Amino acid sequence: MKSISLKEYGFEINRIFYQLDPDKLHQMTLERGMGKEVSNGALAVNTGEFTGRSPMDRFIVRDDITADKVWWGDINIPFSPEKFNSLYNKVINYLKGKDVFVRDCYACADINYQLNLRVINEYPWSNLFVHNMFLRPQEEELVNFEPEWTVINAPGFMADTLADGTRQHNFAILNFTRKVALIGGTGYTGEIKKGIFSALNFILPLYKNTLPMHCSANVGEKGDTALFFGLSGTGKTTLSTDPYRKLIGDDEHGWTEENTVFNFEGGCYA
C-alpha cells in the first residue's frame, strides 16, 4: 500500500492511517472506547448529539463558481470565502498532532461520471462508514489516484458561531472553488455522503448533462429500470428490494443523457 502526505492541505498530524481494512477500523474503534460490539458482532457507535442530518447547518460558499448558479435561500445557505478559509484553518489546527484516517474512494458507479474522493476523518468509525458507503478502488488504481474532491470530517471540533459565521457549533460547508467539503461538530456520518450528493447535485447537471436523483432503483430481467422517489423514511429502500428484480441502489442515482441509471454509492445507504 502506498503512503501519502497531507501537507498540501496544511496538516501537521501525528499519524496517517491510510486505507485501513474494516476489521482494523472496527478494532481501533473498540480499543479507543468509541463503540461497542452488539450480540451479532456488529459495531454500534453513539454519534452523540446528532442522530441525523442538520440541513439548516449546511452551507455553500458563495464564490465566482456558485454566485449565479445556485438557488440561494433557506436550503442553499451562502457562506463567505473568507469565513470558510478562516474556519478551514481552525479545523486543520484542531487536528494538528492527532491521528487521522484517510480513504481514497469513488462516487458514481458509471466510470464516465466517476468522482475521485479523498476523505479525511478524525475518528476510525467515520472512516469505516466511508469504506462501506463509497465505491472502492482496486489497489493498483490507488497508485496514481488523484482526488478531485476532499472531505475533511472533524466531529470533535466545535465552531464559534459569532467568530465563524455558523448557525450553531456544527456545520457542513461545500466550497466548489477549493473542492472541499468541511464538516465539524457532528458525529453523524450521513453528513459525509450527503455532502458529496450535494456537490453532485451541482456538478452533474451543469457539467455532465445528467440528472441527480434522491431515489432508489432496481432493474428487471429485460433491462427495465424502476425508480422510487419519496422523502426519507417513506419506503424507497423497501420498495426497491424486490426479490424478482436486481437492486441498483437505494438512495442516490444519476440519470444520464444516454438514458442509463447509475448508483452514486457502493451499495445501499440503509
Each residue's pLDDT tens digit, 80-136: 999 999 999 999 999 999 999 999 999 999 999 999 999 999 999 999 999 999 999
Cα–Cα distance measured from residue 99 to residue 193, given in angstroms and rounded to the nearest whole number: 22
Helix (H, G, I), strand (E, B) or coil at 101: strand
Q: Tell me if 203 sits within 8 A of 234, measured CB to CB.
A: no
The rounded percent of the chain whose pLDDT value lies above 70 is 100
pTM of the model: 0.96
Flag whether pLDDT at 201 surpasses 80. Answer: yes
Give first-to-last CA distance, the chain, whole Å.
30
Q: What local confidence, expressed as pLDDT, does residue 270 receive?
A: 76
Confidence of residue 140 (pLDDT cuts 50, 70, 90): very high
Query: Average pLDDT over the chain, rounded to whole?
Result: 96
> What nine digits make up the cell of 63?
464564490
The mean pLDDT of 138-166, rounded to a whole number, is 97
Residue 175: which of 79, 68, 57, 90 has the closest Cα?
Answer: 79
- Phi, psi (5° rounding) for residue 128? -65, -40
Q: What local confidence, expressed as pLDDT, does residue 92 receive?
A: 97
Ramachandran region of residue 269, left (φ > 0), alpha (ψ -120 to 50) or beta?
A: alpha
The mean pLDDT of 34-56, rounded to a whole number, is 95
The mean pLDDT of 211-236, rounded to a whole number, is 95
pLDDT in tens, 176-185: 999 999 999 9
Cα 151 to chain centroid, rounded:
7
Flag whether pLDDT at 12 surpasses 80. Answer: yes
Provide the strand spans (E) within 24-98. 36-37, 43-44, 58-61, 77-79
Helix (H, G, I), strand (E, B) or coil at 86: helix
Domain residue ranges of the chain, discontinuous segments joined by +: 7-208, 211-263
Between 269 and 247, the higher pLDDT residue: 247
Confidence of residue 232 (pLDDT cuts 50, 70, 90): confident
DSSP bridge partners of 255: 211, 261
The mean pLDDT of 157-179, rounded to a whole number, is 98
Q: Which CATH architecture has domain 7-208?
A: 3-Layer(aba) Sandwich (3.40)
Q: What local confidence, expressed as pLDDT, does residue 3 receive?
A: 78
Greatest alpha-carbon pair distance for the chain in Å reads 57
Confidence of residue 1 (pLDDT cuts 50, 70, 90): low
The mean pLDDT of 63-77, rounded to a whole number, is 97
Confidence of residue 4 (pLDDT cuts 50, 70, 90): confident
